[in-house]
Chains A and B, each alone.
Chain A
Amino acid sequence: MNYKMIAYLLGWVLKIEAVTMALPLICAILYGEQRMVGVFVSCIIICLFTGLFFSFRRPSRRSFYAKEGFVTVGLSWIAISLFGALPFVFSGFVPNFVDALFETISGFTTTGSSILTDVEALPKSLLFWRSFTHWIGGMGVLVFLVAIIPSSGGGNMHLIRAESPGPAVSKLVPKVRSTAAILYKIYIFLTLVQIGLLLAGGMPVFDAITMTFGTAGTGGFGVLNASAANYSPYCQWVITVFMLIFGVDFSLYYLLLLRRGKDVLKSAELRTYILLVITAIGFITWNCIGMYKTFGETLRHGAFQVASIITTTGFATTNFDIWPVFSKTILVLLMFVGACAGSTGGGIKVSRVLILMKSIVKEIKTAAHPRNTMKITMNGRIVAHETVRAVNVYMASYLLIFALSLLIISLDNFDFTTNFTSVAATINNVGPGLAAVGPTRNFFDFSALSKLVLSFNMLVGRLEIFPILILFSPSTWKK
């Protein structure tokens, strides 16, 4: 394994993190939070020097294979979380490092689960950093890294593949670097559009920017204790639509840019995603009629919550923990489905669910006609056997990790709904669960062990299991 190259890339990741911390620093200066200026300056210095130390010299041996890709991505995410937690600790608002780490991992993995009981007590710059971690984590740090550092051969694709969600990551254009750049351009463009629309709806500038970061990364950290409940219906609708937009495969937007709208409409994943969203909104609105004053309000809350949960964002406009069980069950099921592959959302991903469903159909048909040579297809093409196999293994590992996590956190002796939904909300990068971790409550009461397990789940969910699991395999580190 090429340790030097991994260290070099880790150094770069930390340098990028130092640069990203400049934004909350500017924010601290603008709002006159002198204490926070000091905090961010010291954090930037720590990140920058650690980064420079590791990436001082470019290693001569460039060999970089899938294994190095996985390990680099896994370690980078752990590193940015460790360093990203520093502002919380230094500022004194989250003195416990495990809590700060939980909050940061929750930010970078775009989960949105919080241990903070009173968000509004935090200084603006810290809130900004908290929301900004969503935006960085949404598209991925290494995707950004690949977009800016000069190409170092074919190895870069291993990084993107390990970091991007979905069963089969492919390129938009032949060069990895251009692919990464296109993804980020689309991401930045959509972010700016949303900020503009929210400002047009009269939302304060700070809220518009931070809420957009939360939406774009499908994260879910708000800046108010009531999440998104206090914003105007117009703003809530804007957020609803943009959550759904950020939950769509970004390569489809690239196809739109190429004026290949027909191909976009043909995407089976997109169709299923839209179908799921509409059905869920329909059922929940029907189920919740009478809970709110008007039908319009019921529809708005239904749509917002469905969009928030299926894209694994985790904003809330209402306390859905008091909804009827049928509606709550729909939301929990949507947590597992998640957004589309290639989006900023988490969860199992619509395309994986589709492949699994088709595998079931195939097995049934094969049972009836043993000589049947049916193949699983998506968008009219055969899904490679390796992809199907990877999806199956993914599901098996997913369930195993889920079960083990559930077992460990049950030590804290919360009720089953709380335990189950807290694991589901973290491993799927959603944010809030039900009962004690419902939208109006938080994860503060869990023990340190549980918080670490849930943090682990968030990383596993964001990086789709293997980049994290490979770090624990002895064969990875053997010479």
Chain B
Amino acid sequence: MNIIIIGCGKVGKKLVEQLGAEEEHNITVVDSRYPLVQEITAEFDAMGVVGNAMTVDTLTEAGVQEADIVIAVTGSDEQNMLACLMAKKLGNCGAIARVREPEYNRAAHLLKEDLGISMVINPELAAASEIARVLRFPSAIKIDTFAKGRVEILKFRISENSVLDGMRVSNIVARLECDVLVCGVERENEAFIPDGSFVLQSGDLISIVSSIRNAALFFKKIGFKTHRVKDTIIVGGGNMAYYLAHQLLDTGIHVKIIEQNQKRCDELCQLLPKATIVCGDGTDNRLLLEEGLETAESIVSLMNIDEENILLSLYAQSKTKGKIVTKINRIAYGDVITRLDLDTTVYPKNITADYIVRFVRAKKNSIGSNIETMHLILEDKAEALEFRICENSPVANITIDKLKLKKNILIACISRGQKVIIPRGRDTLLPGDTVIVVTLKAGFQDISDILE
């Protein structure tokens, strides 16, 4: 595929590395700064264009007419959005914009639906979601998100003496009174898409589909609640802390934010009335102890300087047994940091790149189809695909039990506007919905492929 990457910063470079070097796409990079373009084209097999990416000339020179995807990851939200809009009008391509400002991010829906930008990525938000997921279910092995993050597929192991041991899949909803769907089971290196009569055993790795709220409920009911953190201390009060606190408070986790800047503290107080905001230096260990570092179930370091975050986490490790999450900006020293054994580390720049790469991969599988997202699940043995239902789709407006589906296919979830529906036989797919289909067979291009 032909991909244009606008912005040659750290994320841009990471993307060139992943998409160009590892996945062999044709990459053209655009930036107004000559040395940065020079650096990337010298290191990777990519074409460079120096110029303002918001102009028709530069975009044309970069080959926007032939491009399949345009990815704008410059430091400026406005430039990214404008460049994407221009690219969209000039060529027939998917457009991905990095938009970080929370104010703009609230309009992400509008950007996507009305302005035609295929994907709006907010690195801080994405990283915050990742951290929130880890804090919510530290015992979940893998979490994939769909429908703009409203739906998750969570994978975990059924422990011995679990209520799930020996339970039939069809009984889960009734017995646990919880709207989740088991969409995959791995047992002794084999992957199954279970039907209602499938009996779960302890030791199985199961993947469930659910909305975020229901997942929490489900985990509570199966006795995983001890693993969920009750409170967290966030050190550093930037945008990411705001997003994280917001998400954690929504799921009922108590949040304490330590931020040095008085003005920012006041802002956070207004934005997050339920959180405790402490004004002070997060690297001051006496302050941390005073604020309950030793008893906190989790601590998240989100300061701007990597070194401070790492030091803080190392210090916290010596004082508490709680979950520790460290944000790291610089990608380059990843393996050195891994050796420090810092518990969970989160790289916002990697997450951004991963999101985009995933999108590109889905797009690659979806040339001429309508796949929205794609995740490989069950140890890459199955695909979870998110389709959008169009007006005259053969599956629309028919109740699911009347659809003649192929074998080993599961309609796992429907998202309709803001609503998430775990489908049962009586539900209907409507045009405009997105639907998650789990399949053991790869290569589906369109929702109609699931029919016999």
- Do A and B come together as binding partners? yes
Enumerate chain A interface residues (CB-CB to B < 8 A): 66, 151, 153-154, 156-158, 170-171, 173-178, 384, 386
Residue B239 interfacial (CB < 8 Å): no
Q: Show 22 residue pairs from A and B whose CB-CB distance is below 8 angstroms, ordered by the A residue.
A: A151-B45, A153-B21, A153-B44, A153-B45, A154-B42, A154-B43, A154-B44, A156-B45, A157-B42, A158-B42, A171-B47, A174-B2, A174-B20, A174-B27, A174-B28, A174-B45, A174-B46, A175-B26, A175-B45, A177-B45, A178-B26, A384-B34
- Report the nearest A residue to B25, measured CB to CB: A174
A170 to chain B, nearest CB (A): 8
Within the complex, the shortest CB–CB distance from B52 to chain A, in Å, comes to 12
What CA separation (Å) do A373 and B243 show in the bound complex?
47
Q: Which chain B residues lie closer than 8 Å to A170 at the CB level?
A: 47-48
Chain A proximity of B50: nearest CB distance (Å): 8
Task: Give the complex CA separation of A12 and B185 in angstroms.
Answer: 50
A156 partner residues in chain B, CB cutoff 8 A: 45
User: In the complex, which residues of chain A have a beta carbon less than 8 angstroms from the beta carbon of B47?
Assistant: 170-171, 173-174
Q: How far, in angstroms, from A177 to B2 measured CA to CA in the complex?
A: 15
Please determine whether A66 and B27 come into contact, CB atoms closer than 8 angstroms: no
Residue B41 at the A interface, CB < 8 A? Answer: yes
Neighbouring B residues of A173 by C-beta, 8 Å: 26, 47
Pick the 10 closest A-B CB pairs, nearest first: A174-B26, A174-B47, A154-B44, A171-B47, A154-B45, A154-B43, A174-B27, A174-B28, A176-B45, A174-B46
* Assembly CA distance A173 to B24 (angstroms): 13
Chain B interface mostly: mixed
A66, A154, A157, A384: which contacts B21 (Cβ < 8 A)? A154
Q: List B residues at the A interface (Cβ < 8 Å).
A: 2, 20-21, 24, 26-28, 34, 38, 41-48
B21 closest partner in A (C-beta): A153
A15 to B46, CA, bound (A): 28
Minimal Cβ-Cβ distance residue in A for B20: A174
Residues of B within 8 A of A153 (CB): 21, 44-45
Distance in Å from the Cβ of A180 to the closest Cβ of chain B?
Answer: 11
Question: Within 8 Å CB of A178, what residues of B?
Answer: 26
Q: Taking CB as reference atom, which chain B residue is nearest A151?
A: B45
What B residues does A66 contact at CB under 8 A?
Answer: 42
Neighbouring A residues of B45 by C-beta, 8 Å: 151, 153-154, 156-157, 174-177
A177 to B20, CA, bound (A): 13
Min CB–CB distance B369 → chain A (angstroms): 25
Q: Which residues of A contact B20 (CB under 8 A)?
A: 174
List A contacts of B38 (CB < 8 A). Answer: 386
User: Closest CB-CB distance, B368 to chain A, in whole Å?
Assistant: 22
**A65 (CB) vs chain B CBs: closest residue:** B42
**Closest approach, in angstroms, between the C-beta of A355 and any C-beta of chain B?**
16
Name the A residues within 8 Å of B46 (CB-CB). Answer: 154, 174
Determine the distance from Cα of A153 to Cα of B20 in the docked complex, in whole angstroms.
Answer: 9
Bound together, the chains give a CA A151 to CA B26 distance in angstroms of: 13
CB contacts (< 8 Å) of B43 on chain A: these are 154
Other contacts beyond A153-B21, A176-B45: 5, CB < 8 A: A151-B24, A154-B42, A171-B47, A174-B28, A177-B45
Distance (Å) between the CB of A466 and the closest chain B CB? 15
Please, which residues of chain A bring their CB within 8 A of the CB of B48?
Answer: 170
Query: Once bound together, how far apart are the Cα atoms of A236 and B232, in whole Å?
Result: 86
Identify the closest chain B residue to A158 (Cβ). B42
Q: How far is the CA of A174 from the CA of B45 in the complex (A)?
A: 7
The minimal Cβ–Cβ distance linking A162 to chain B, given in whole angstroms, is 12
Q: Are A157 and B41 CB-contacts (below 8 A) given A174-B2, A174-B28?
A: yes
CA–CA, A79 and B45, complex, Å: 27
Q: How far is the CB of B227 from chain A (nearest CB, A)?
A: 43
Question: Residues of B contacting A384 with CB < 8 Å?
Answer: 34
Which residues of B lie under 8 Å from residue A176 when comparing CB positions? 45
Cβ distance B86 to chain A, nearest Cβ, rounded Å: 20
| CB proximity of B239 to chain A, nearest CB, Å | 34
Can you name the residue of chain A whose Cβ is closest to the Cβ of B46? A174
Report chain A residues within 8 Å CB of B34. 384
Shortest A4–chain B CB gap in Å is 20
Q: How far is the CB of B364 from chain A (nearest CB, A)?
A: 16
A449 to chain B, nearest CB (A): 39
CA distance A175 to B63 in the complex (A): 13
Q: Looking at A158, A171, A174, which has the most chain B CB atoms within 10 Å of its CB?
A: A174
Q: Report chain B residues within 8 Å CB of A175.
A: 26, 45
What is the CA–CA distance of A176 and B42 in the complex, to the nearest angstrom? 12
A154 to B27, CA, bound (A): 12
Give the nearest-CB partner of B49 in chain A: A170
Shortest Cβ distance from A112 into chain B, in angstroms?
34
- For residue A167, give the distance in angstroms from its CB to the closest CB of chain B: 14
Q: Which residue of B lies closest to A171 (CB)?
A: B47
For A154, the chain B residues whose CB sits under 8 A away are 21, 42-46
Min CB distance B35 to A, Å, is 9
Most buried by B among A170, A175, A178: A175
Kindly provide the distance from the CB of A158 to the nearest chain B CB, expressed in whole angstroms: 8
A175 to B19, CA, bound (A): 12
Closest beta carbon of chain B to A251's beta carbon, Å: 12
Residue of B nearest to A176 (CB): B45
Q: In the complex, A323 Cα to B21 Cα: how many Å?
A: 57
The answer for the CA separation of A176 and B20 in the assembled complex, in Å, is 12
Chain B residues near A174: list those with CB within 8 A: 2, 20, 26-28, 45-47
Cα of A151 to Cα of B48 in the assembled complex, Å: 18
Q: Which of A151, A154, A157, A170 has the most CB of B within 10 A?
A: A154
Complex Cα gap A217–B34 (Å): 33
Q: How far is the CB of B300 from chain A (nearest CB, A)?
A: 37
A154→B47 CA distance, assembly (Å):
11
CB neighbours (8 Å) of A157 from chain B are 41-42, 45
Q: How far is the CA of A151 from the CA of B46 in the complex (A)?
A: 12
B2 CB contacts on chain A under 8 angstroms: 174
Determine the distance from Cα of A170 to Cα of B49 in the docked complex, in whole angstroms: 10
A158 to B42, CA, bound (A): 7
- Rounded to whole angstroms, the CA-CA distance of A66 and B38 in the bound complex is 12
Across the two chains, which residue of chain A brings its CB closest to B27?
A174
Q: How far is the CA of A157 from the CA of B389 in the complex (A)?
A: 45
Question: Most chain-A Cβ atoms within 10 A of its Cβ — which of B2, B34, B43, B47?
Answer: B47
> Please, which residues of chain A bring their CB within 8 A of the CB of B26?
173-175, 178
Cβ-closest chain B residue relative to A385: B34
- B44 → A minimal CB distance (Å): 4
Q: Closest CB of chain B to A51's CB: distance in Å?
A: 25
Closest Cβ of chain A to B93, distance in Å, is 15
Residues of B within 8 A of A151 (CB): 24, 45
CB distance from A125 to the nearest CB of B (A): 39
CB distance from B72 to the nearest CB of A (A): 17
A67 and B135 CA atoms in complex are apart in Å by 48
Return chain A residues, CB-CB under 8 Å to B28.
Answer: 174
Q: Which residues of A contact B44 (CB under 8 A)?
A: 153-154
A382 to B: closest C-beta gap in Å: 9
Q: How far is the CB of A182 from chain B (nearest CB, A)?
A: 13
- Complex Cα spacing A191 to B26, Å: 29
CB distance from A142 to the nearest CB of B (A): 15
User: Which residue of chain A is the closest to B28 with respect to CB atoms?
Assistant: A174
Identify the closest chain A residue to B34 (Cβ): A384
Query: Shortest CB–CB separation between residue B36 and chain A, in angstroms?
Result: 13
**Looking across the interface, which residue of chain B has its beta carbon closest to that of A263?**
B61
User: CA A373 – CA B41 in complex, angstroms?
Assistant: 28
